Every structure is written in structure tokens, then in C-alpha cells.
Amino acid sequence: MSTIGDLPPTPVSATSISVVLVTGGSGLVGSALKYLIDNEPIDSPYGRRKDEEWVFLSSSECDLRDIQQTREVFGKYRPREVIHLAAKVGGLFANMSSQHTFLRDNLLMNDSILQVSHEMKVRKVVSCLSTCVFPDKVEYPLTEEKIHLGPPHSSNFGYSHAKRLIDIQNHAYHDQFGDLFTSIIPTNVFGPGDNYNLESAHVIPGLIHKCYLAKKNNTPFTVFGSGEPLRQFIYSRDLAKLFIWVLREYKEIDPVILSVAEDDEVSIKDVADAIIEAMHFKGPVEYDTSKADGQFRKPASNAKLTRLMTESGAGEYEFTPFKLALKVSVDWFLDHYDTDARI
């Protein structure tokens, strides 16, 4: 059985300061949380509390697939709360080419984090699922209680099953030990600090990068698939604010969907057109229908989120308009093209 017997003692200075540990702190969502913590006023609704220290982990500090390394990093920071974002993440085409890596890396990371959080009596863990955990064939809209009703879409079954299991693990830890481990389900996320790598990117960062290259090289801008699939997109800084609300206010083990409204679906063609406008691209646009469309749509309901935020007094969340958030993301990409390691 796993124990924490060989962990270093809690530092004396840690007793009055409570640590919030963010795994995946260097990623898209992690950097949006860091932006809030660095910029929102202390003790404001989306800001750091004055008795908190936020620690943002990256894979260079600890490989979370290794439970012993995870124990050591938890021993160092002694977190009171954990936001678990670290994951092997990628767009449709990266998932299709490496199902086993997406399954195994995520299973190992999730198991390390939840087991070590249990051993160290972490007060609350909020993990991150994805709307691809839902069954491929299910009545729309997607709602929280439908996760386990059938197999996920085949295009990312490795990632989806690993993510689904977090919900099962959360319930098992709660059922047997009373742990407060929960999860959120975001839709497709985009924003500053995204993964713009052409091989592994999600659609928005992938298309921003491709449009940039098409403009620079005077070549056609190629969008994969038919352009017809629909997605709900959430801006990373909106998601970060909702994450903080969940950390402070949400008390259930079951997940909550963090999404724009069900009728705010955008087609891939609309995304491409918005990027063309933001980039001032004037060249030809092609749709490569030899490439997969993936799931046609997966509309998720944010009714539970809206109800709970209203009941908590926070009120209904006002999302950043899509085109404005896209413009910030395009500008971030242009500003960081020569310097960011992930581009």
C-alpha cells in the first residue's frame, strides 16, 4: 500500500499560508490561471486570497506519470488544494495517431495526482475532463449525467476513456474515504499561450498558424475537412475565472460543464473566416476533404453552471465575445512567433 512515511515534514512557514498547486501550470489553461492570479486584485472574486500561495507546475519540475516524483513535489509544496490540468493534450489528428500514448500518459498522471492528493489529505482536487468524454451516440444537448451512457467517438477513444475514468476515481475516493475530488468539463479551449504546433494543435491554434504561414509564403490557406462540423469554444481566460469559481464554491463530486450556451456553436468554416479577417489574409482558401471531420457536433448545456452560479450569488457568467477573444489569441501568436518554444 502507498504511504507518505518518507515525505519531508511540513515547513513551519507553511502553516498559515495555504498552497494551491496547479498541475499543467505552463499550458494553455494553466497560463490563463496564472494571468488571473498575477492580475486580479487580491481577495476579489477571481483573484488570489491573501493567505494563499499559488504554485504553477510544469513537466520540467516533475513528471507526473511517476508517482514517486509526484510524492516528492507534493512533499515540497504541501498543497491544501489542487487544480489538476496536466495532461497529454492534442487536437483531432494527434489523438488519431497516438491513441495508446493519450490513454496511458493520462491514466498514469491522473492516478498519481489523485492517489498522492489522497495520501496527503488535500482538501479539494478539481480535475479537468473534456466534452469528448461523452458518448458518440447520445441525445443532445450533452449534460453532466450522460458521460457514461455509451462509448465515446472512435477518433480519440484513448484520451476520452482516460478522462472519463477521473470521474470514476473521484467517486471511488469519495465513497470509500470521503475525499472531495471533483471535475469540470470544458469545451474546446483557445487563447494566449496555446499549443500552436502544427502536428498536435487543436483547430483554432492550428488554423492561426497555417493562415500566418499562407500569408507569409503567399500560398493557399488549407483548412482540414469539410468546414461543416460545429464546436463550442471557450476562451482560456473565461475558463480560468470559472475554474476559480468552482474551486471556491462547487461542492459536488459529479462534474460540471463549463461552456458557452448551447446555441453558441460555431462551424469550422466560421472559425477559418474569423481567422482570415483577424490576420488580414487575402489569398485563396482550400478545404482538404481527404482529412477527417471528426465528431460532427457535441453541443453541451451550461444550464447546471448557470443555475449554480446564480444560486451562489455570482450571477450568470458573461463570456468574452468569440471574435474579441480570437483577436487577442491571434495578436498573442504574432507577438510570440519568434520567441515561444511551443510555436
DSSP 32-99: HHHHHHHHSPTTSTTS--TTEEEEE--TTT--TTSHHHHHHHHHHH--SEEEE-------HHHHHH-H
159 catalytic residue (yes or no): yes
Q: How far is the CB of 313 from ligand NAP (least distance, A)?
A: 27
What distance in Å separates the CA atoms of residue 251 and residue 239, rounded to the nearest whole number? 18
Selection from ligand GDP, ligand NAP, none that 223 binds (CB < 5 to 8 A by kind) is ligand GDP
93 binds ligand GDP (CB under 6 A): yes
110 binds ligand NAP (CB under 6 A): no
Q: Which position among 183, 188, 232, 329 is part of the footprint of ligand GDP (CB under 6 A)? A: 188
Closest by CA to 259, choosing from 282, 233, 278, is 233
59 binds ligand NAP (CB under 6 A): yes
Q: Which position among 141, 206, 255, 299 is part of the footprint of ligand GDP (CB under 6 A)? A: 206
Selection from ligand NAP, ligand GDP, none that 60 binds (CB < 5 to 8 A by kind) is ligand NAP
What distance in Å separates the CA atoms of residue 88 and residue 183, rounded to the nearest whole number? 17
259 binds ligand NAP (CB under 6 A): no
Q: Which residue is nearest to ligand NAP (CB)?
A: 27
What distance in Å separates the CA atoms of residue 110 and residue 8, rounded to the nearest whole number? 23
Cα 307 to chain centroid distance, Å, stands at 22
Q: Which position among 19, 73, 85, 132 is part of the footprint of ligand GDP (CB under 6 A)? A: 132
Binding mask 247-276 for ligand GDP (x = CB under 6 A): ---------------------x--------
CB 196 within 8 A of CB 208: yes
| Grid coordinates of 146 | 450522460
What distance in Å separates the CA atoms of residue 257 and residue 255, rounded to the nearest whole number? 7
**Count of Cβ atoms closer than 10 Å to residue 311 Cβ:** 9
Point out the residues that are catalytic. Answer: 159
Note the residues at the interface with ligand GDP (CB under 6 A). Answer: 91-93, 132, 188, 201-203, 206-207, 210, 223-225, 229, 231, 268, 291-295
- The contact set with ligand NAP (CB under 6 A) reads 24-30, 58-60, 62-65, 85-89, 109, 128, 130, 186, 188-189, 195, 202
